[in-house]
Structure formats: structure tokens, C-alpha cells
Amino acid sequence: MKMNFKKIGANALGMILMINFSMPVALFNQTATSAPSQPQERFQERFQERFCSRLIETISKFDQRIADQKAKLQTKQEEQLLKLKNRQTERDSWLLGNRIKRDDNRQEHYAKIEARAQTDIQKQAVAAFKAIVEAAIVARRQAIDATIEKFRQDISQAIASRKQAVSAAVQTFQNVKIAALEKAKADCAAGINPKTVRENFRQAMKAGQD
């Protein structure tokens, strides 16, 4: 699951970087024709404002895509859990039916043996045989039930741990994104070169996935 969310994060980060990689060049091309007639500082301010505005807009879209991916992932998890529970129910029903069938067959076998017992010694031997067989069957079934229960507990714990890992990964990624965005905003406000802002943002987001 953790790997699934890392894939989501990687796809979303890739979208941001792909869009923003050409952003400074595109913005420069859009404003370059008017640059000679404007003071250089004003040109740089407009360039900076448009870059930062586009960056924030892109991240907003990216947030929605992450939310959509998380919803799909949660739906898939719930579907898998439901399938698991259904398989367990089917397994329990099959096991119960099989045991009932074997119990009936065994009782028929006991009845045939008892019908042949004529003396008290023979009857005592049949009773002892039945007691031994039934005790062995009870012990075997208890061992099987314990093994099944242990396996299911392990599965439940693994699922719970996986969910916790995903939740932690989501929260960490969100924290990194918020910090990276605030840093990008501050850098934009400080007039730092857009290429530097973009690269700092990219590095921060990449570190959040490692």
C-alpha cells in the first residue's frame, strides 16, 4: 500500500514538474516582446507574479488529483477486504458442512460396529474405540481452528499495519507539500529567480517521497 501511495505521489509530482518545467520559458516568451518598452524591474515583477500564480494554480489541481487517487485507493482496499471476508465465510461454510458429513458417516460406522458387539467385553471395546476416535477428532479440529484463527489474525494485523503506513505516508507527503509550497511562495515574494524557486520546490517534493 505504501508503494501504491508513493506511485500516486510520484505521478502527481511528475505532473507538477512537467507543467512547471517549461513555465519560465513560456512566460518569458509571452512577455519578452514588451520588455524593451518597460523598465527591467517591472518586467521581472510581472514575470515573477505570473510564475508564482501559475505554480499555485498547478498545485491546486495537483491536490485534487491526489484526493481522487486516494479515494480510488480506499475504494479498492474496501473491495479487497470485502472479498477476503466473503472467502472466509465460504471457507467456514464448507468446513462446517464437511464436518457434519463426516460426523454422520462416523455415526453410521459406529452403529454397524455396535450391532456386531454381542458380549459386554465387545461392547466396552467399541465404547473405548469411539471415545479414542472422538477425542482425536476434537483435538484435530481444535488445532485446525486455532491455525485458521491465527492466520486470519495475522492477515488482519497486516491490513491494519498497511493502512497505518499509508496514512502516515499521506500525512508526510501533505506536510512536505505544504512546506514546499510555503517556501515557494516566500521565495517568489522575495524575488528569487523562478528557476531557483522551481528547482527548490522539485527537490523538496522529491525528498518527501524518499
Q: Which helix (H) or strand (E) holds 69?
A: helix 40-116
Measured distance CA(197)–CA(187) in Å, rounded: 6
Query: In this predicted structure, what is the pLDDT of residue 18?
Result: 46
| Residue 38 CA: distances (Å) to CA of 30, 67, 190 | 14, 42, 21
Q: Which residues does 5 contact at the CB level (< 8 Å), separation at least 6?
A: 70, 73, 166, 169, 170, 173
Query: In this predicted structure, what is the pLDDT of residue 28?
Result: 39
Give pLDDT tens digits along the chain (210 positions).
444 545 555 555 554 444 444 444 444 344 444 444 455 566 556 666 677 777 777 766 777 777 888 788 888 888 988 999 999 999 999 999 999 999 999 999 999 999 999 999 999 999 999 999 999 999 999 999 999 999 999 999 998 888 888 888 888 888 888 888 888 888 887 878 878 888 888 888 887 666
Query: In this predicted structure, what is the pLDDT of residue 193?
Result: 81
Measured distance CA(67)–CA(61) in Å, rounded: 10
Query: In this predicted structure, what is the pLDDT of residue 112?
Result: 95
